[in-house]
Structure 1
Amino acid sequence: MMMSKGIGMFDLEKHYSFYGAYHTNPMNVLVHTLLVWPNVFAALLFLYAAPPILDPSKLGLFGGVLRLDVGLIHALIHAILYVRMDKKSGALAALLCFSCWVGSSFLAAQIGVSLAMKVGVAAQVVCWAGQFLAHGLFEKRSPGMEDNTVHAYLMGPFYLLLQVLQFVGYEPYPGFNKRVDSQIEVEIKKCTEKQQLKKVK
């Protein structure tokens, strides 16, 4: 029996096929797999420089290193979205989000906020540049960010985790892979038509 898919912003098939249409080349997918999650870590490292929402000394967690801050909210938004789209793989993605937050918090506290900010920015530049280059060299087309920046940023880490899990035979529900493969073909056709219209103009 097929599980029902999510609705609207929690529609896993829709989000997966949109992102998948921009990542069909194996080398491009590999580059993204190597760079997207480190980019999440780097973003959280950078966000540690923002003032905490709640004074860390009042929390008393690990000497005030773990605190209620923008980084935690960032990780929480991603985690909730992923779990709502698929409980099993979403729970693993949520765990990775919070692991990145914890790890980046401790690293930032260790090296100092100023250096953490610089390292976070530098790492993001490298990660983003690598992904854009991979699109140009291997995919031969612009990334999904050009059409939907928020969607691409939110969905990227989860899509790549699902890609890895598919190698070991995981499916969110029976028939998922077949359905999204079909939808990806439709999305690719839409993108191709859009690019052709741009050339005409």
Structure 2
Amino acid sequence: MGLLDLEKHFAFYGAYHSNPVNVLIHVVFVWPILFTALIPLYFTPPILNASPIQLCDHTILVLNYGFLFTLVYGIFYVALDNKAGSLAALLCFLCWVFSSSLAHNLGFSLAWKVALAAQLICWTSQFIGHGMFEKRAPALLDNLTQALLMAPFFVLLEVLQSLFGYEPYPGFHAKVKAKIDADIKEWKEKKIS
């Protein structure tokens, strides 16, 4: 799978998310996973010899692993699709800013507890979505990196397509749907065998 092949990434992820209830569960819980994953990363040491950036009394930004994580996700999304990728990169940046603010205000001990509780709720909800509604194991069991990296962008593209009919290029959704249908058919045939 080409690293920047949006069609293949989206088809892979979409084949594991065809049930509308499961898709809704992912729409609700995927971005909070990214947000709360950034909370403990606030407490990592700076990766550059730069001073923390104080936006206000309640927000101190540190160019640490949380920032690096955000930067990698943002650049990857923009490389996949300029328009939706730019929006996704902005959302990633906002997640970093607000998770940093929350972590700073909560302090190390409470921030970890909040992040852990949120992660447990979000991940459990998604596994329930796959077990009860999708009836298929999550994509992360077949390709962990691809599933974790693509999940926020996949959800954003789903929302943009549903609300605004957005396509990265003409015919994108038709091509992806054909690939998803073929993958699901192949999976069901293997399941029966």
**TM-score class normalised by the smaller sequence:** over 0.9
2:116 maps to: 121
Which amino acid is the alignment partner of residue 17 of structure 1?
A: A
1:77 maps to: 72
Which amino acid is the alignment partner of residue 62 of structure 2?
A: R
Give the 5 Å matches for 1:169-180.
169-180=165-176
What percentage of residue pairs aligned between the two structures are identical? 53
User: Does the 8 Å contact 2:39/2:99 carry over to 1?
Assistant: yes
Give the 5 Å matches for 1:5-44.
8-44=2-38
Q: Tell me the TM-score normalised to structure 2 length.
A: 0.92
Q: CA RMSD in A?
A: 1.7
- Residue deviations 1:72-116, cap 9 Å, x none? 111111111111110000000000000000000011111112211
Q: Greater CA deviation, 111-120 or 139-148? A: 111-120
Q: Does 1:137 align with 2:142?
A: no
User: Does the 8 Å contact 1:49/1:116 carry over to 2?
Assistant: no
Q: Does 1:161 align with 2:136?
A: no
User: Does the 8 Å contact 1:49/1:117 carry over to 2?
Assistant: no
TM superposition shift of 1:141: 1.3
TM superposition shift of 1:195: 3.8
3-state SS in 2 of match to 1:65: strand
- Residue deviations 1:165-187, cap 9 Å, x none? 00211111111111100011122
3-state SS in 1 of match to 2:61: coil
Which amino acid is the alignment partner of residue 26 of structure 1?
A: P
- Residue deviations 1:25-76, cap 9 Å, x none? 00000001000001110100122232332466x2444378111111111111
1:3 maps to: none
- Residue deviations 1:95-151, cap 9 Å, x none? 000000000001111111221111111111110010001100100111111100110
3-state SS in 1 of match to 2:77: helix
1:49 maps to: 43
Q: Does 1:105 align with 2:133?
A: no
User: Does the 8 Å contact 1:42/1:124 carry over to 2?
Assistant: yes
